[in-house]
Each structure stands twice: as structure tokens, then as C-alpha cells.
Amino acid sequence: MTVRADTVLESGAHPRPALSTRPQVRPIGQLRKKRLVHDDQVEANLKGMDDLDFVGWNNADWDGVFAHHHTDDVLVDWKGQPPTSGIEQHIEAMKSYVESAGGTPPQITAHPIAFGSGEWTCVVGEFEGGGRMVTVAKWLNGAIAEEYIWA
């Protein structure tokens, strides 16, 4: 059965608004093009997150790679832990966490989901054994200035 725009159903309603009264809709490809434009800064920040997790975290390289990817005054809010302010507090909190987890950082094996917009990134880290962690980070000049972690 073909339904024309001027057809009225038994209920008295039109099956859909007439073409002239519907809002103009752009094809979905046009909407996505703006969001999928390659952003060099986001890509660089995501590579920084890879380096931070796979090298700095996994190797407990606190004062090297780990510190390099954070600003001196970084704010970190890891859900379930007291927030930290400054790289020294963040490193001490991570060392304490690792010590409580057996002395070796739980190994992050993959970032299956990683995306960003402007100065923000969001990464899902998968741990050996199947656990996951989500990190949302605000970057400033190639280093994390704010970090929000759910594990």
C-alpha cells in the first residue's frame, strides 16, 4: 500500500507530516564529516596516552615517561580514591595503589576504544585478566592537566 503525504488515517492523524512541514535534514554523511575531520592534536594526545599506559604505567616509570605525560599541577580524580593535585601527589597515590595490588602495576594490554575532541581524550584500557579502566583526560601542550579515571 502506498501512503501519500496528504492521506489521513482512520484515527484522523496523518501518517507523517507533509514534506513542506518537516524540518530540513542533511544527509548523515554531511553531519559526520565535521566530526570526523582528522585532528592532529587529538591523534598526538592519544599516542601520548598509549605511551603513558603501555610504557610509563606498565613499567612503573613514575619519574620518567609517567611524569612526562602529566603537567606539574595535574588534577587527578580516580573514582574511589582521594583526588590528587600535582604530579608528586599523583605519583605517590599510584605507587600506593600498586603496592596494595601486589607491587607490580596491573598490566594494560590494549586501548580498544580511544577517541577525542579538541583538548579532551577518552580511552578504555584493558588489563591482563579482563578488567577495564576508563580515562578521560584534558591535555595542555602535550601533557595531561586533568585526569578522570574509573576502574
Would you say 124 and 112 are in contact if contact means Cβ atoms under 8 Å apart?
yes
Would you say 59 and 65 are in contact if contact means Cβ atoms under 8 Å apart?
yes
Question: What's the pLDDT tens digit per position in 94-138?
Answer: 999 999 989 999 999 999 999 999 999 999 999 999 999 999 999
Domains in the chain (CATH in brackets) are 38-150 (3.10.450.50)
Name residue, grid cell 579538541: 118
Q: Looking at residues 57-68, what average pLDDT do you find? A: 98
Question: What's the pLDDT tens digit per position in 11-55?
Answer: 555 444 454 554 555 454 444 444 444 489 999 999 999 999 999
Q: Does the pLDDT value for residue 62 go beyond 50?
A: yes
